Each structure stands twice: as structure tokens, then as C-alpha cells.
Amino acid sequence: MADQLIRATAADGGIRCVGAISTRLTEEARQRHRLSYVATAALGRTMTAGLLLASSMKRPGSRVNLRVKGDGPLGGIFADAGLDGTVRGYVGNPSVELPPNAKGKLDVGRAVGRNGYLYVVRDVGYGYPYSSTVELVSGEIGDDVTHYLATSEQTASALMLGVFVSKQGVTAAGGLLLQVLPKAANDEELVETLSSRVAALSGFTPLLRSGKTLPDIFDRLLGDMGLHVLPEVQMLRFHCRCTRERFLGALKLLGVAELQDAIEQDDGAEGTCEFCGEVYHASSADLTELIGDLQAGPS
Ligand code: ZN
């Protein structure tokens, strides 16, 4: 199934529900950054969480940045997700691999580390972005983002994130966010019910792998609570805003002497985009042109 995000409401608008399938974009990230199994799960969960958080923003162009900085060997995760359904991200040490945890699952918590912080930045495209920091709960990402929503945004939420990686690559990835909105937030029983229903699902990827669609999953959770699935299907994809022009612009900042060195010693220059792994090349002729621009002065 294509990567997609679907929204729903229930309980007369008291519950907001959003689900995402992110299998292909997680596989693309895995290939681009040559991620290990555990790094794939960590980045896939973080990118999916970013897309779920961005989906509640209103203004076109809004984005959410998540930065996870724990004390584990993975060395940090970054994801940049937009309301438009695009996402990009990377991890500090993509090749880190760990034995499975006690439940036989990829040990994301140990790879990330339990001691550290989750930084969240919401950018609506103008003014100062809204940023917030919370301590990590488990490093498993889902718990950490739920904790952020409860403490920084005062929203009771239930979040599920899952990435299934096999020898063939990522075969299922996605997530689901249920939020109890302020008008229903006092209803503790409701929050309790939702949390226990989510817990009873025992994982998101098994549902996807058994052929369940997002509306099927919504129905299982909220079918008896006045579920209303919104008809819009938002497509999701891995996308980075880097371009060759930006790469050349960055090279220009090195100055004439450094560019001259690159021509003489390396016959050109090469750079890799941190966010998506794209490799850009500049030939000696390109560099000579940049030197010409610099010598001509600001136009
Ligand atoms: Zn890029």
C-alpha cells in the first residue's frame, strides 16, 4: 500500500485520530543512509512521529523537527516532517547494530539511550518557531513523543509507532496517534479506555502485515464511538530540499583560495547531503566558474 496519512474524529470531535503508513519512505531512508536494522527502526519511528505531529498543523508550509539525543551508540536522530507529507531525516551512526531486546524486538531504546532529550520544533513558516525540550522516557521514541505531548502540549495522547525490517528491507512501517481534545480531556475514563484499546492492539506493523488498512484499524479502536473517517488521503514521501545549486552556493563560501586548492589537488569537489545522503559533484570547470563569480564581486 502506498505511503499515506488519514485523519478521523470520534466522540463528537472529542477524539482526534491520525494514522500513517510510512513503509516506502522508511525503506528509502534505509537505502539512502545504509541504515542498520535498529537504525532503520529508530529513524522510521521518528520520521513517522514527525509526520503525525505535523498533520495537526494548519498553515501550509508548516513543519515539525524532532531531534532525539540520547546517550546510546546511535548518536542522535533527526527528522524534519511537513504538513505537506514530505519528510527527511538521518541518524548519527547508521551502522550501529545491537542484539534484540528481551521481547525479541529491535532494541531501539538501547541504541538511542535512555538518558537524554527530545527536542521538538514547530515552525509555521513565519515568526519564531515554537520549540520545546523534554527528557527521554525510554528512548523507544513512541513513549518519548507521548511524554512530550502530555507535558509540553498538555494533550493526553496514545501513540503507536512500528517499523518491521527483514532481509528484504522495510516491509511494514507506520503509526497511529489518538488525542483526546480539550473538550473531552476531563473525561478520564475515555483516556483510560483509549489507552487500553491501543495497548490491546499489540503493535502496529502486525496489523499492516495482516492486510489491515488505516480505516480498518481506526474502526477497531473507535468503531463504537461515533467514528468519522475524513475522506482526504494525504500521500507521504521521503523528500529533501537540497539541490545542486545549494551545494554550489555552499562551496562558494569556501572562498577563492580553497576552491583553487580543490581544483589543483582533487580536480573538483564532492559533498554529501547530511539529510538525505545525496552526493553532489563539482568539476574543476564548475569551480573555476565559482571563482570567476567571486572575483567579479557581488552582482
Ligand atoms: Zn538532501
Ligand 1 centroid from CA 153, angstroms: 30
Ligand 1 centroid from CA 253, angstroms: 18
Ligand 1 centroid from CA 252, angstroms: 18
Considering 192, 212, 238, which residue would you say is the last residue of a domain? 238
Do 165 and 33 lie in one domain? The reply is yes
Do 140 and 263 lie in one domain? The reply is no
Return the closest-CA partner of residue 230 out of 85, 86, 19, 2.
Answer: 19
**What's the domain range around 205?**
4-238
66-91 as b/e, with b when 16 or more CB fall inside 10 Å?
bbbbbebbbbbbbbbbbbbbbbbbbb
5: CB partners within 8 A, 6+ apart:
18, 19, 20, 21, 51, 52, 55, 85, 233, 234, 235, 236
Q: pLDDT of 43-95, one tens digit each? A: 999 999 999 999 999 999 999 999 999 999 999 999 999 999 999 999 999 99
Considering 192, 211, 238, which residue would you say is the last residue of a domain? 238
Do 125 and 179 lie in one domain? The reply is yes
As a whole number of angstroms, the distance between CA 83 and CA 71 comes to 30
Residue 291's pLDDT is 94
Residue 185 has pLDDT above 90, yes or no: no
Give the CATH number, domain containing residue 26: 3.55.30.10
Ligand 1 centroid from CA 279, angstroms: 9
Do 110 and 47 lie in one domain? The reply is yes
Do 116 and 251 lie in one domain? The reply is no
228: CB partners within 8 A, 6+ apart:
8, 9, 10
Sign of CA dihedral 90, 95, 98, 99: positive
Count structural domains, the chain: 2
This prediction's pTM? 0.93
CB 42 within 8 A of CB 91: yes
As a whole number of angstroms, the distance between CA 261 and CA 265 comes to 6
Q: pLDDT of 129-163, one tens digit each? A: 899 999 999 999 999 999 999 998 888 888 999 99
Residue 77's pLDDT is 98
Residue 125's pLDDT is 82
Strands 15-21 and 169-180: antiparallel
Do 277 and 147 lie in one domain? The reply is no
Do 103 and 36 lie in one domain? The reply is yes
Ligand 1 centroid from CA 298, angstroms: 27
Do 291 and 191 lie in one domain? The reply is no
Ligand 1 centroid from CA 245, angstroms: 12
Ligand 1 centroid from CA 35, angstroms: 16
- Residue count (the chain): 299
Q: Which helix (H) or strand (E) holds 292?
A: helix 284-296
Do 202 and 129 lie in one domain? The reply is yes
Do 175 and 272 lie in one domain? The reply is no
As a whole number of angstroms, the distance between CA 142 and CA 41 comes to 12
Do 21 and 115 lie in one domain? The reply is yes
Do 163 and 45 lie in one domain? The reply is yes
Residue 298 has pLDDT above 80, yes or no: no
In the numeric block, the cell 538501547 is attached to 110
